Chain A
Amino acid sequence: MKKLINDPLKVADELIDGLVEAYDGDCVKVGTRSIIKTEIPEGKVALLIGGGSGHEPIYHGLVGTNIADGAACGDIFAAPPPDIVLEATSAVSRGKGVLYLYGNYAGDVMNFDIGAELSSEEGIEVKTVLITDDVCSAPAKSKDQRRGIAGLVLIVKMVGAASQSVESLDELERIAKLTVLQTRSVGVSMSPGSIPATGKPTFEIDEALIGLGMGIHGEPGVSEIPMTTADDLTPQMLDLIFKDFADDSDVDELKEGDEILLFVNSLGATTMMECLICLRKAKEYLNERGILVYDTIVGPLVTCQEMTGISFSVTKLNDELKGYWDLPCESLCYTKL
């Protein structure tokens, strides 16, 4: 793989320096590897996100106006260590507590938890909500075990909007849990990305197969199916999301008249052309079922280097969530006018 990098061990630090430049002053780097919004009002309940680097434009690209206040960034595909979580927490805290919102991966959970303990020793109140939208990573009855994938863009957007006006950390925690509960994703992968420092692929998959439900680092999914067309694959993926809403007794099934957000994500190398072809089929599928798409996002926002694959994410809206969605926001990863 031809990659335009310098010292392979400095990739994470150099990309973060570039990210700060791209923000044109709206965000700064604080400490070792935290991206923090320049202006955070006093008395605001703060929203901190984060995770490993190498998945750009998330996670650190979701910091900005009316979205996340800061991100604790790890090395490539590695959780940020606790001292970075602490430095980010201190930098976003404005006296009303800090909500941690990030994908459910063992390394992230351990390091953010230690960061939360260190922060509380410094007198900062922290609560955590894990993003668990990947329906193929565990059954509905144990959905708290699920990994976090592309649905995080929809979730962080809405929780970030809510964080602008909530009165308390508890209230923001409630909203984050509600948003996670109503957001479900299914992904597929067709070929791996590579680790920048070694050039090695993150996993292996047969050329003739697609990993249905595979995670963004190549974690096992539900099955491997023969390579197929966009129009054949799209309904199979959406079926899994519909089935999951139906199987989970904590949510209502998706039915005629429901309003949803729809996000078609590329894992990196799958082109916008392919995403649009899948989006067209998805819209046809949803129309047949009478589901109303309130808003659509499409593009490579949650990536794993040059991995090929796509994911669909759906948030089922109610009036409250719609209000959070409607607020304009601006960040490197996602901007809504």
Chain B
Amino acid sequence: MPKESLDVSESLEMVKLLARKIIEAEPILTDADRNLGDGDHGLGMQRGMTAVLEKLESESFFDVKSIFNATGMAMMSSMGGASGALFGTLFRSGAKTLAEKPVFDASSLSDFLVAANEGVQARGGASPGDKTMIDALDPAANESIKSKNLPIDEALEAVAAAAESGRDQSKDMIAMMGRAKTLGEKSVGHPDAGACSIAIIFRAMADFANN
């Protein structure tokens, strides 16, 4: 039977799962970043998500908005640097659109992702095609608009598939932002590490909703 929406405790468990999945993926993310950047993305994300788990386990939550907001704040304060600001902005901008309500459905997911996508693009200045996290986030946000009226499990599955396909397409792009920019044509052939993180985050959310 399709799942229409997630309640507060399910949403909390979903975010904890995505945090654990990112922590587990540290070697993959580190490798991805070593090909293009300075190799610190995996460790930064691991540090950020460890702080997220600590925060989510030590506080009580009564609405979904506060869960995502706490996630964004924990990432920002623990990671530092550009990736802390960008991933923190993703969760904080997304959270701002959610009313303080106790359910998370496909319509909230779409509001969340559209605002998160706009927020991250405004903060970092990257556009789709620049070989950044946006190349997984932007297709995910677009897909969420189409999936607005679906049950949450189906919507999350569609969003995760869009993010994964965006991550794969980032392999063929030439980096236009950040440290990888100096590599020019040499950046082709590897996916962007930030896009890899986005794909892992949505895959974990979809797997949670579908199990």
Contact = CB atoms under 8 A, between A and B. Distances in A.
Given A83-B73, A106-B178, A220-B182, A111 B86 contact: no
A80 B80 contact: yes
A123 interface: no
B84 interface: yes
Interface string A75-99: 1001111111000000000000000
Contact of A81 (B77, B86, B124): B77
A78 B76 contact: no
A261 interface: no
Interface size class for chain B? Answer: 10 to 19
A111 B178 contact: no
Contacts of B81: 74, 78-79, 107, 111
B80 A113 contact: no
A80 B81 CA distance: 7
Contacts of A22: none
B48 to A, nearest CB: 10
Interface string A217-254: 00010000000000000000000000000000000000
Given A82-B77, A83-B76, A83-B77, A111 B84 contact: yes
A277 interface: no
A31 B82 CA distance: 22
B53 interface: no
A80 B84 CA distance: 10
A82 B182 contact: no
Given A81-B76, A83-B77, A111 B182 contact: no
A79 B80 contact: yes
A152 to B, nearest CB: 20
Most A CB contacts (10 A, CB to CB) among B78, B79, B82 go to B82
B80 A107 contact: yes
B80 A110 contact: no
A114 B76 CA distance: 10
Contact of B82 (A82, A83, A107, A220): A107
A111 B80 CA distance: 8
Given A83-B73, A106-B178, A114 B89 contact: yes
A74 B73 CA distance: 16
A41 B81 CA distance: 32
Secondary structure call for the A interface: helix
A110 B73 contact: no
B88 interface: yes
Interface string A194-218: 0000000000000000000000000
A45 to B, nearest CB: 26
A110 B124 contact: yes
Nearest to B78: A81
Interface in B78-99: 78-82, 84-86, 88-89
A82 B124 CA distance: 15
A37 to B, nearest CB: 24
Nearest to B75: A81
A79 B84 CA distance: 10
Contacts of B86: 110
B123 interface: yes
B80 A78 contact: yes
B80 A106 contact: no
A82 B88 contact: yes
A138 B77 CA distance: 31
B181 to A, nearest CB: 10
Most B CB contacts (10 A, CB to CB) among A74, A80, A82 go to A82
B76 A107 contact: no
A81 B123 contact: no
A256 to B, nearest CB: 40
A147 to B, nearest CB: 13
Given A106-B82, A110-B85, A114-B89, A82 B76 contact: yes
A74 B80 CA distance: 7
Nearest to B79: A81
28 contacts: A74-B81, A75-B80, A78-B80, A78-B81, A79-B80, A79-B85, A81-B76, A81-B77, A81-B78, A81-B79, A81-B84, A82-B76, A82-B85, A82-B88, A83-B76, A84-B77, A106-B82, A107-B82, A107-B85, A110-B82, A110-B86, A110-B123, A110-B124, A111-B80, A111-B81, A111-B84, A114-B76, A114-B123
Interface of A: 74-75, 78-84, 106-107, 110-111, 113-114, 220
The list of the 9 closest CB pairs from A to B, nearest first, reads A110-B85, A107-B82, A78-B80, A107-B81, A83-B77, A81-B77, A78-B81, A81-B80, A111-B85
Interface of B: 73, 76-82, 84-86, 88-89, 123-124, 178, 182
Given A75-B80, A83-B77, 17 more contacts: A74-B80, A74-B81, A79-B81, A80-B80, A81-B78, A81-B85, A82-B76, A84-B77, A106-B82, A107-B80, A110-B86, A110-B89, A110-B124, A111-B80, A111-B84, A113-B85, A220-B182
